[in-house]
Amino acid sequence: MNRKYFGTDGVRGPYGGPVINEAFAARLGRAAAEWLRGPGERRRVEGGTPQPALDRRNNEGSIGRVLIGRDTRFSSPWLEAAVARGFGGGRVEPISLGVLPTPAVARAVRVTGARMGVVITASHNPAADNGIKFFGAGGIKLTDETEALIEGFLEIKDSLPEPWLETRPGALEDYITTAQSLLPAGALKGWRIVLDTANGSTCGTSPAVLRALGAEVIGIGDAPDGRNINAGVGSEHPEQLAARVRAEHARLGIAHDGDGDRCVLCDELGEVLDGDEILTILAARALARGTLAKNILVTTVQSNLGVDAAVAAAGGRVLRTAVGDRYVIERMLAEGATLGGESSGHIIFSEVSPTGDGLVAALKVIEVMLATGKPLSELRRALKKFPQLTAGLTVREKRPLETLPALTAAIRSLEAALGAQGRVLVRYSGTEPKLRLLVEGPADVIVRDGLAQLEMAARAGLEVL
């Protein structure tokens, strides 16, 4: 379904640009509030007297609550206030949860029964960007169809109330307590862990949980100033994490992205593990114990074919979706699966959290380490990756792939050459102006040459910046 503003994970772009600004954020909040009314309520007010905005003094006429969290970007408080103004204009009561990881907001929606959740974040993007993520009832991300319906209400031009937000404490403490309960008290006594919180919203959560469990935590990216989120740190930049693990002789390294829904790990040797390796470790352990629901792991087309082979060897099967953790979640719900995720580090345990949760993922891997007595460097051997290379080309315009004859011809030729021994994936990023290329095959040289062919063909038809 075509959507103009929503990508694979909410609405995102440069702060102060044509989309991510206070005026649009208010319109988007108002549009989401209109969707929450439901068709019956909308029919009653259509063509009639405009409904007054929510009375902030007593919440008279409220049709429900929306919980709003934000990351540490300098622009997040301004966008939070604007979104709240839009919801108030649609008679939805806005509640601020303050700086909070995305999975903590999703959990708060599920626990409190709120009508909707919103996170002001651009996830792993730099501080100059920002975005708006939505959760529906139960803390589940919205479907493409729902996002398209919300976009249909963007032209509503009500007069909106002055910005206001009621702040409610407790969501952060509840999230910390719940995460801490995943391991026995004192389970990490004697553990030295390097933790990279990306100068983002996990600075107040992940260190607290790990220390409460007894770990010695060495922090990286733990001094947010509004403009340093993801700046050379976090899950997109694990080099510093790996070096620090080696220097400190740590047992484990953990890196989040700016809003905390991703997890990248580093073993005791300073080698980085991606989401595919994390998912394989967790699925193999669950299959061995007979606890993987339906014996299914759900992942995306981006994941390495080695995941399929490893899971099949352990007695399970892999189901794949389009790229985007919400598509993984949708498939998990449809299949009754409880474990899924992406190679980027979004890991979903539906029995614990309704969305990807970087801290929960790390704790679940630690649980496997504790149960088996094996270091992460040994556990990661469960996945033998097929040779794979990727590239991301920043483009001026996302022209439809079918209008790029050189690229489509290169894709067909490479697919024919690889046959069943590999695969090719070419797609535009849903959150950035990038064309993403992936080639997987039986040998490094074949993969390298194939990716070079795709890059050359892409540059022939696109303006690459």
Mean pLDDT computed over 352-374: 97
pLDDT at 15: 98
Mean pLDDT computed over 401-412: 95
Q: Is the pLDDT of residue 44 over 80?
A: no
Q: Is the pLDDT of residue 47 over 60?
A: no
Q: What is the pLDDT of residues 60-116, one digit of tens each?
A: 568 899 999 999 999 999 999 999 999 999 999 999 999 999 999 999 999 999 999
Q: Is the pLDDT of residue 368 over 80?
A: yes
Q: Is the pLDDT of residue 206 over 90?
A: yes
CA dist list (Å): 295 to 88, 192, 290, 316, 353: 45, 34, 8, 5, 19
Tokens of 273: 């593990």
Q: What is the pTM of this model?
A: 0.88
For the chain, domains (ranges, CATH) are 11-171 (3.40.120.10), 181-272 (3.40.120.10), 274-382 (3.40.120.10), 388-461 (3.30.310.50)
Q: Is the pLDDT of residue 170 over 60?
A: yes
- Closest C-alpha to 320, from 302, 340, 303, 300: 300
- Closest C-alpha to 239, from 261, 264, 218: 264
Catalytic residue list? 123
Q: Is the pLDDT of residue 49 over 50?
A: no
Which residues are CB-contacts of 331 (< 8 A; sequence separation ≥ 6)? 298, 319, 321, 337, 340
Cα–Cα distance measured from residue 304 to residue 388, given in angstroms and rounded to the nearest whole number? 7
Mean pLDDT computed over 343-358: 96
Report residue 220 CA to chain centroid gap: 21
Summary mean pLDDT of the chain: 93
Q: Is the pLDDT of residue 51 over 70?
A: no
Mean pLDDT computed over 127-153: 96
pLDDT at 43: 45
